[in-house]
Amino acid sequence: MSTIITELEKYAHKLVDDRLVVGAGGNLSMRDEKNLYISPSGFDLKDIKRDDWVPVNIETGKVNGQLKPSSEVEMHLECFRHNKEIKAVLHAHPTYSVAVSSTGENIPPMFPDFPAMLKDIAYIDYIIPTTHLLANAVAKVISSKQAIVMRNHGVITVGSTMKEAYFYMQLIEEAAKVYAISKTVGNPQILTEKECEDLRNLSSETYRSDLLKKQ
């Protein structure tokens, strides 16, 4: 469990330092056998101490800690319940990702890393946060996805390690940023599906993907 808390602390700080969240926004969790450990409600992610992370039983949703878990705990629980391979869940509000997706557009592939590493992204329309309605919408798609972009809200990424989930978050935001900037300059040139598929089949990209799954 100490390793899990160390990882959660590390990436909580990175979310703030990389400006993927503001104030008390965003939340993250990791699986520890039958429980998940999640950020407490109302805390700035950099202010969370080692004993503040809240254990919640994945099957029952019972909270075992003294603090209240993140208000998005139901969304995290559904991720872990619907895919046993998921060990880490991140939810952030990256500026460019929210901006692009709120127009109704998807974030397009414009450079190799994005389609090569992130193969399965879902987009869902706005649903009021912290509700069972949002958790249910996430539950319907998360079993086969690496990320969910929630329009006018934020992004969820998952992984077999927190390193993997965090990389996906960075990659989505970078892709959205490149697209948004390119739109101000001219007509963006989007990679074709054939070009994306060729990238996904590169052995070098498979190797990089495997590395992300190791702590």
Active site residues: 72
Residue 22, amino acid:
V
Q: CA 71: distance to chain centroid? A: 16
Taking the CA of residue 196 as centre, how many other CA atoms within 13 Å lie in the half-sphere pointing to its CB? 13
156-159, long-range: CB < 8 A, 24+ apart: 156/75, 156/79, 156/89, 156/90, 156/91, 157/89, 157/90, 158/79, 158/83, 158/86, 158/88, 158/89, 158/90, 159/86, 159/87, 159/88, 159/212, 159/213
Distance CA 58, CA 176 (A): 32
Taking the CA of residue 85 as centre, how many other CA atoms within 13 Å lie in the half-sphere pointing to its CB? 10
Distance CA 146, CA 86 (A): 9
